[in-house]
Amino acid sequence: MTLHIDSNRLWQSLMQLAEIGATAKGGVCRLALTELDRQGRDLFVGWCRDAGLEVRVDAIGNIFARREGRDPTRRAIAMGSHIDTQPTGGKFDGNFGVLAGLEVLRTLNDHGIETEAPLEVVVWTNEEGSRFVPVMMGSGVFTGAFGLDHVLPQKDVDGFTVAGELDRIGYAGPQAPGEVPGGMFAAYFEAHIEQGPVLEAHQLPIGVVPGALGQRWYDMTVTGMEAHAGPTPMNQRHDALLAASQLVQTVNRIALDHAPHGRATVGFMQVSPNSRNTIPGTVKFSVDFRALDDDALAAMDAALRDACASLAATDERLAIEVEQVVYFPPCRFDPACIASVRQAAEELGLGNMEVVSGAGHDAVYLADVTPTAMIFVPCKDGISHNEIEDASQEHVAAGADVLLNAVLRQAR
Amino acid sequence: MTLHIDSNRLWQSLMQLAEIGATAKGGVCRLALTELDRQGRDLFVGWCRDAGLEVRVDAIGNIFARREGRDPTRRAIAMGSHIDTQPTGGKFDGNFGVLAGLEVLRTLNDHGIETEAPLEVVVWTNEEGSRFVPVMMGSGVFTGAFGLDHVLPQKDVDGFTVAGELDRIGYAGPQAPGEVPGGMFAAYFEAHIEQGPVLEAHQLPIGVVPGALGQRWYDMTVTGMEAHAGPTPMNQRHDALLAASQLVQTVNRIALDHAPHGRATVGFMQVSPNSRNTIPGTVKFSVDFRALDDDALAAMDAALRDACASLAATDERLAIEVEQVVYFPPCRFDPACIASVRQAAEELGLGNMEVVSGAGHDAVYLADVTPTAMIFVPCKDGISHNEIEDASQEHVAAGADVLLNAVLRQAR
């Protein structure tokens, strides 16, 4: 006897929210703390009030919509995500997690179901980081990863500050960051599109997320000797691109050596002078390493540095610099919350598998302060952060059903 | 009993010509058919008249300065190169070959030496191709590689035409291209800095040039699938840069398989979308193959296409396009002319070795119509097409001495 959300209502809410900032190509451009973000927030808050929820806003603009429980001593179970988008974003990234949470509460209202614990739906401010850095700003402030004093003065490219824009759109709230009535959440669940191709490839509707990969990002610089392509014999060259291309292969091998969760990407490369008949003198490129535990990340780091040192040792006029520029620790979600998600999926008869999160999410910060889990649903071709991002009504409904039943397990 | 040129006079002429268009970094910017080119041409023509030479100009602006011989039935022996430069060029590229030729005639005047055959020094128009394409325009028109009707309407980036600029600077001459008094040159010798590191590495002053490498240039496009670096497992990727970097390695190996004259360079690469946490969807890059014979070039071409086909066959979502965009045939210089250069160097006691020309030169076109050879001298660190291009007075004098004695062998 499992409960189901209202699939059509959820889908209509997603489509209605997607109209705010809709782009010609079918996507959404609703950057954090813009007038469009205000309109999206107002729409959400209006729906919450219609559903009888009590709305609070904190000092970084996170929105909390609360449905009280029967037991005044219980701490709230929270759901949520974000509604800001990338400049060329889609309808589902973030929005799905927020509206699935709202749909859970609407469904409980429909059926007159009271829970023991209070339930909350949260909109986290500026998850995308497209307009203001750092990314995952709202959840980071809420969980203490960084302070208000750090983020409020942050400026966008036009010089507007987070503090000023929060005031302007009317979402600089009175609640202190991290404060929750009755104490910190007892648990947090975030539903999200997978943003990858795994569920689609396995034709399964539900991803049970054991955690999120840690990340180490690097800036690499290979310096050789610029020279004419014609008159320079092969054995008198110090070709920076030849060395860099060897390192691209090495970086890939390092990820394969740490299967299945090791990942490595060279996404950026800049060749200088970048002229077709000149041997490249300098190549800069990025390395993005991800893994599910810190030992693996450290081993990948060591393998990269070893490979660079070995390659540089073959040619005294070749220099290779390795600079780590970003580190996010790996995140393991809460076993009990994960189990609730898996059991909910099983009871609903929904095929599921473990899918590790390769990207960061608000849930990764929440996991620092409360037991947390995520629920993934497939997105078309694994594409996200793109106007053609797409997901099916069937899959988002399945994800919201799992969210509903996982939360009910915790809230009883 | 070998003759020597006047080393100081040659050096002073080189330095004086280098003042026209001199750059702050010690180089020269004297683009073809500009006001500065006119000033450089006027200086050269003045020197020629001072030396008693008869000056002609043809319809593409090539300048011919003639010293008559004793035998009216003999065809002229020519020397020369160009005086236009790259935008950030040096003092020696081209200028050395022209002024070495002038110095040969001045030296014969000094010593009152008459030759049987007439001698000419030629300035070829727009060798560099920096302002107007095609490169090696003047020698190409002279030898019939392309017609006046093709090159005269060519425009620079500001819309000025070759025809208009020739008129404006006063170098649209009456002589028909390819016409020489008494018939086509009996031989052509071009002295040039090596533009590569071989002579310097061997500490030898003279390069005897057996020919110039043929060239095949390609535009390559690798298309995979753009995707998020985080959520996309290694085994579900179609990484265009990973494939391209493998081809960079392959291109290099193909050159090594055709040692010693096979050369291969990837000088240009453009990654899209070039974002550090996005798997590249498209990579465009150049391939520059060079070899001393067409069979080798054809084998290199086949090896490249095979490697691309094999790589594309490993992943149905990976496409690799190979488009040949430039072809210059290999050039073998004339054995008798080459022998004259070698013998002149030996008689002068100058250490020498064979150095194939990796770059194109006016001499490559001249070789289509007359027995031709080149003489290389070292340049510092093999650097050319650069404001820091440098050569020693001792080496340019040695090159001009070899030119003088090689020409005398032919002109007697």
What are the extents of the domains in chain A? 7-212+330-411, 214-328
Three-class SS state of B155: strand
Over 90: is that where the pLDDT of B347 sits? Answer: yes
Q: What is the pLDDT of residue B2?
A: 83
Question: Shortest Cα distance from B202 to chain A (angstroms)?
Answer: 12
Cβ count within 10 A of residue B335 = 11
In angstroms, the separation between the Cα of residue A290 and the nearest Cα of chain B is 7
Q: How confident is the model at residue B237 (pLDDT cuts 50, 70, 90)?
A: very high
Lowest mean pLDDT among A59-63, A340-344, B86-90, B94-98: B86-90
Query: Quick one: pLDDT at residue A412?
Result: 84
Find which of B198, B245, B355, B388 to mutate to test the A interface (most A CBs within 10 Å of its CB). B245
B267 close contact with A: CB closer than 8 A = yes
The tens digit of pLDDT for each residue in A151-203 reads: 999 999 999 999 999 999 999 999 999 999 999 999 999 999 999 999 999 99
Q: For B251, which residue in chain A has the nearest alpha carbon?
A: A242
Contacts of B379 in chain A (CB under 8 A): none
A63 to chain B, any CB pair closer than 8 A? The answer is: no
In this complex, the residue of A232, A241, A288 whose CB is nearest that of residue B277 is A288
| 8 Å CB contact of A231 and B359 | yes
Nearest chain B alpha carbon to A218: B276
H-helix or E-strand containing B260?
none
Tell me which residue of B190, B93, B16 sits closest to B390, measured CA to CA. Answer: B93
Q: Average model confidence (pLDDT) for chain A?
A: 97
Q: Write the pLDDT tens digit of every residue in B153-203.
A: 999 999 999 999 999 999 999 999 999 999 999 999 999 999 999 999 999
Contact state of B358 with A228 under an 8 Å Cβ cutoff = yes
The mean per-residue pLDDT over the stretch B120-149 comes to 96
Domains B7-212+330-411 and B214-328 share a fold: no
Q: Name the least confident of A208-212, A317-321, B252-256, B383-387.
A: B383-387
Distance, in Å, from the CA atom of A241 to the CA atom of B41, rounded to the nearest integer, reads: 40
Q: How confident is the model at residue B131, as a pLDDT?
A: 94
pLDDT band at B274 (very low <50, low <70, confident <90, very high): very high
Q: Backbone phi, then psi, for B287, in 5-degree steps?
A: -130, 135
Q: What is the mean pLDDT of residues B381-408?
A: 96
Given a cut of 80, is residue B1 above it in pLDDT? no
Quick one: average pLDDT of A76-93?
A: 96
The mean pLDDT value for B70-74 works out to 94
Q: Do A267 and B277 touch (CB under 8 A)?
A: yes
Q: Which ipTM score applies to this complex?
A: 0.91
User: What is residue A405's predicted lDDT score, i.e. its pLDDT?
Assistant: 98
> Rounded mean pLDDT of B275-304?
96
Question: Given CB atoms, is B7 within the 8 Å cutoff of chain A?
Answer: no
A370 touching B, CB under 8 A? no
Examine the pLDDT at A132 and tell me if it is beyond 70.
Answer: yes
At residue B214, the pLDDT reads 97
Strand A372-377 to A187-193 pairing: parallel
pLDDT band, residue B233 (cuts 50/70/90):
very high
Is the distance from CB of A123 to CB of A102 less than 8 angstroms?
no
pLDDT band at A402 (very low <50, low <70, confident <90, very high): very high
Q: What are A242-253's pLDDT values in tens digits?
A: 999 999 999 999
| Percent residues over pLDDT 90 in chain A | 97
Q: Give the integer Cα–Cα distance in Å for B382 and B391.
A: 10
**Chain Cα centroid distance, residue B400:** 18
Residues of A in contact with B269 (CB under 8 A): 241, 269, 271, 274
* pLDDT tens for each residue of A252-264: 999 999 999 999 9
Percent of chain B scoring above 70 in pLDDT:
100
Please report which confidence band the pLDDT of residue A364 belongs to, taking 50, 70 and 90 as the band edges.
Answer: very high
According to the model, what pLDDT value does residue B412 have? Answer: 84
Question: What pLDDT does residue A72 have?
Answer: 87
Cα dihedral: B312, B314, B317, B321 (round 10): 0
Tell me: pLDDT of A1 over 80: no
Domain A214-328 has CATH 3.40.50.300: no
Quick one: CATH architecture of B7-212+330-411? 3-Layer(aba) Sandwich (3.40)
> Whole-number mean pLDDT of chain B?
97
Q: What is the pLDDT of residue B51?
A: 98
> How far, in Å, CA of B339 to CA of B345, rounded?
10
